[in-house]
Amino acid sequence: MAVEKMSIAKALNESLRKALEQDPKVLIMGEDVGKLGGVFRITDGLQKDFGEERVIDTPLAESGIVGTAIGLALRGYRPVVEIQFDGFVFPAYDQIVTQLAKMHARALGKVKMPVVVRIPYAGGIGAVEHHSESPEALFAHVPGLKVVSPSNASDAYWMLQQAILSDDPVIFFEPKRRYWDKGEVDTDAIPGELHKARVAREGSDITLAAYGPMVKVCLEAAAAAAEEGKSVEVVDLRSMSPIDFDGLQVSVEKTRRLVVVHEAPVFLGTGAEIAARITERCFYHLEAPVLRVGGFHAPYPPARLEDEYLPGLDRVLDAVDRSLAY
Amino acid sequence: MTVESTAARKPRRSGGTKRAAGAASAAKAPAAKAAATAQNAEPQLVQLLTPEGERVSAADNPDAAEFLSFVEDITTEDLRGLYRDMVLTRRFDGEATALQRQGELGLWASLLGQEAAQIGSGRALRDDDYVFPTYREHGVAWCRGVDPTNLLGMFRGVNHGGWDPNTNNFHLYTIVIGSQTLHATGYAMGVAKDGADSAVIAYFGDGASSQGDVAEAFTFSAVYNSPVVFFCQNNQWAISEPTERQMRVPLYQRAQGFGFPGVRVDGNDVLACLAVTRWALARARAGEGPTLVEAFTYRMGAHTTSDDPTKYRRDEETQAWEAKDPILRLKTYLLASGGADEAFFESLEAESEALGKRVREVVRAMPDPDTMAIFENVYADGHALVDEERAQFAAYLASFEEGH
């Protein structure tokens, strides 16, 4: 029995360690991932144990990191690359969108792209510009990519395992402000399905759907709502591409109300797609339009404003009240 | 030799020729030479066969001297082989242009004028080496044994490439300019990790040299000392933009700033391209890292069949380059040296005709893909949304069929 209480950061570190142990083709690449162990220490100690040939400090060039990872994948390796912060992924966006995502289709299936791009994302850490963004929709919109984000230590551990085992490119968004949140991790457990949602809290009056850093906020909102006699169900989507609409549909048909919560701007975001598809699937079950809580159509604000900008307990509960008022 | 027999090649990864391996010991001298030359204002040009069809000796051209040893083994029969490669490549290319004019292809990117650069470099490779092309490397594909008709699917619009890169160690054509130089570098990093002595070659153009990805590929390959050859065909034009819009110093000199040698070679001289590429590959195999080869050549035709070069360049320029034609100069040499007789040229003409006929027939018979192929190979492990949309679209299509 290997159940241990650990932080999300530690769970990711243990997960990478296990992947490196299990498959000699797994490589870790990125800026400062070697001696330093990454700016968030997610790769702490891995270069010491697995060597510079497998845990590779790269030049400061994100397109180069992803572009060479593609070449290594073509050679039979399984690179796990780290983009240091969300806002720094864009130099690599071309390689991700035009090459990584399309290579398998371009080759009519004769080439596979088992590349994981890890990105610490979202806000709440008081950072400077470009260190707090949530660009997941920009990747979920791209056919050929899979996009996931864990919300807790256990999921972080096994979802990263599954992402590395995937023969498709996976964009792995890590909720950086939750890195130090602890939870129980069973390192021997049989992993679940990477793209299956889970019910994080059962309820009967309304469903909150979220992923990554917002799951915790939704669980807190559900607890607060319970004190007011409202039964809130929280669905942790885990995956933004594909989205487990079947799982979400079950919840919405039960509660008949849905609020989607994410940090990313609401406009054309993940919530917009969920609202459209759940409306199509559950039209006759819905008692209220699907509501969304998320970022505004404005650049991520300076740190002194982020507490107001980020969806918190009150904004989520406000949306719950508006939905229930229909 | 028939076209079919060229396409049918030995199993891959069977090790290379002794020639290239033997040449590795001589790899150092030109490297030092190139580095020393790089500071000079006057660009070097490695040339082993003049536009007039005369072989260059060490005394004639100091820049060329150190590369002569890399083609010492080349026999008259080998020269006829290189000539044949160039003629058949040009014929295939011309056929494709004609097929575009007839509406059989949506687009074609002609390599006219660049045959020597592609055949010379392509024939320098071993089977276990790996090629990362742009979308114009039809001559390199030929050298790799890729059936030329495989290249036409994407231009006809029936696929986006579709061949298995590992069959001939020839990666898919890459359309986004410069992206493949990073793939080549990553692949070369993998070769080094595997402890193999294979080399990787990345093709790109003068326009691509402005792309950040190319600069990043230079940096990555330099710091990891990767076994990769960057082979730039400087064909003077990036669609309508001349090299003056891409660079202020001769391109090959850029390598020095990244810490590896660069050499400019006459890109219309197949022998020089063969020699310089062999040298660069030998460096890669010997663990000496990347090399930049700038093949100075000319795009005789349009950028693609959609382009109109009369809008931006003068006829006199094109005519001046016609005098440096890569095929003509080797023919002149073969005739003057008695390396080939009329029977050879006649037989090659017949082979060329047969190739053209086969290309026409294969293209015209190329079927459109099944509609549902839209949903195939989007993912290796499947995706719920693709499955859902496939089912919905199939049902939609079936609803029309049921109406009959």
pLDDT digits (tens, 9 = 90+) for B158-191: 999 999 999 999 999 999 999 999 999 999 999 9
- Shortest distance between the Cα of A245 and any Cα of chain B, in A, equals 9
CB pair distance less than 8 Å for B186 and A74? yes
Quote the ipTM score: 0.97
Contacts of A246 in chain B (CB under 8 A): 384
Q: What is the pLDDT of residue B404?
A: 53
Contacts of A94 in chain B (CB under 8 A): 176, 179, 213
Is the domain of B361 the same as that of B377? no
**Which residue in chain B is spatially nearest to A142 when comparing CA positions?**
B378
Q: What is the distance between the alpha carbons of residues B78 and B24, in angstroms, rounded to a whole number?
A: 21
The alpha-helical segments, DSSP class H, found in A31-152 are 46-50, 62-74, 93-94, 103-106, 136-140
Q: What is the pLDDT of residue B62?
A: 81
pLDDT band at B125 (very low <50, low <70, confident <90, very high): very high
- Tally Cβ neighbours within 10 Å of residue B186: 33
Contacts of B189 in chain A (CB under 8 A): 68, 71-72, 75
Is the domain of A233 the same as that of A140? no
Q: Using one digit for the tens of pLDDT, what is the confidence trace for B313-369? A: 999 999 999 999 999 999 999 999 999 999 999 999 999 999 999 999 999 999 999
Q: What is the pLDDT of residue A273?
A: 98
Q: What is the pLDDT of residue B394?
A: 97
Chain B residues with CB within 8 Å of chain A CB: 132, 159-166, 171-172, 174, 176, 179, 181-191, 193-194, 212-213, 216-217, 219-220, 223, 376-381, 383-386
Average pLDDT, chain B: 91
Quick check: B27 pLDDT over 90? no
Phi-psi label, residue A220: left if phi above 0, alpha if psi -120 to 50, beta otherwise = alpha
CB pair distance less than 8 Å for A102 and B194? no
Domain ranges, residue B395: 372-402
Is the domain of A205 the same as that of A119? no
CB pair distance less than 8 Å for A99 and B183? yes
CB pair distance less than 8 Å for A111 and B165? yes
Residue A85 sits at the vertex; the CA angle it makes with A69 and A163, to the nearest 5 degrees, is 50
Is the domain of B385 the same as that of B247? no
* CB burial readout A216-246, b (16+ within 10 A) else e: bbbbebbebbeeeebebbbbbbbbbbbbbbe
Q: Using one digit for the tens of pLDDT, what is the confidence trace for A16-40? A: 999 999 999 999 999 999 999 999 9
- Rounded to the nearest 10 degrees, the angle between the axes of helix A62-74 and helix B179-194 is 60
Catalytic residues of A: 131
Is the domain of B266 the same as that of B397? no
CB B272 within 8 A of CB B326: no
CB pair distance less than 8 Å for B186 and A71? yes
Is the domain of B334 the same as that of B382? no
Quick check: B21 pLDDT over 80? no
Q: Return the H-helix or E-strand segment holding A234.
A: strand A232-236
Contacts of B389 in chain A (CB under 8 A): none
B157 vs B5, residue with greater confidence: B157
Is the domain of A164 the same as that of A214? no
Domain ranges, residue A309: 198-324
Is the domain of B162 the same as that of B40? yes
Q: What is the pLDDT of residue B402?
A: 66
Can you list the residues of chain A whose pLDDT is less than 50?
none
Q: What is the distance between the alpha carbons of residues B394 and B404, in angstroms, rounded to a whole number?
A: 16
Q: Using one digit for the tens of pLDDT, what is the confidence trace for B232-275? A: 999 999 999 999 999 999 999 999 999 999 999 999 999 999 99
CATH number of the domain at A250, please: 3.40.50.920
Q: What is the pLDDT of residue B60?
A: 84
Q: What is the pLDDT of residue B328?
A: 97
pLDDT > 70 in chain B, percent: 89
Domain assignment present for A192:
no
CB pair distance less than 8 Å for B189 and A95? no
Q: Using one digit for the tens of pLDDT, what is the confidence trace for B70-121? A: 999 999 999 999 999 999 999 999 999 999 999 999 999 999 999 999 999 9
**Which residue in chain A is spatially nearest to B180 when comparing CA positions?**
A67
**Which residue in chain B is spatially nearest to A60 when comparing CA positions?**
B216
CB pair distance less than 8 Å for B179 and A94? yes
Q: What is the distance between the alpha carbons of residues A175 and A121, in angstroms, rounded to a whole number?
A: 5
Residue A107: closest CA among B229, B156, B150:
B150
Is the domain of A77 the same as that of A12? yes
The torsion angles phi and psi of A166, rounded to 5 degrees, stand at: -65, 140
Q: What is the distance between the alpha carbons of residues B108 and B65, in angstroms, rounded to a whole number?
A: 38
Q: What is the mean pLDDT of residues B26-49?
A: 61
Nearest residue, CB atoms, A75 vs list B163, B187, B223: B187
Domain assignment present for A177:
yes
**Which residue in chain A is spatially nearest to B212 when comparing CA positions?**
A63
Q: What is the pLDDT of residue B41?
A: 55
Rounded CA Rg of chain A: 19
Q: How far is CA B215 from CA A64, A319, B209, B251, B341, in A?
A: 9, 49, 8, 12, 47
pLDDT band at B13 (very low <50, low <70, confident <90, very high): very low
Contacts of A67 in chain B (CB under 8 A): 179, 181-183, 185-186, 213, 216-217
CB pair distance less than 8 Å for B179 and A98? yes
pLDDT band at B63 (very low <50, low <70, confident <90, very high): confident
pLDDT band at B59 (very low <50, low <70, confident <90, very high): confident
Is the domain of B364 the same as that of B387? no
Domain ends where: A132, A163, A186? Answer: A186
Q: What is the token pair recorded at B262?
A: 């660069």
Nearest residue, CB atoms, B160 vs list A58, A71, A106: A106
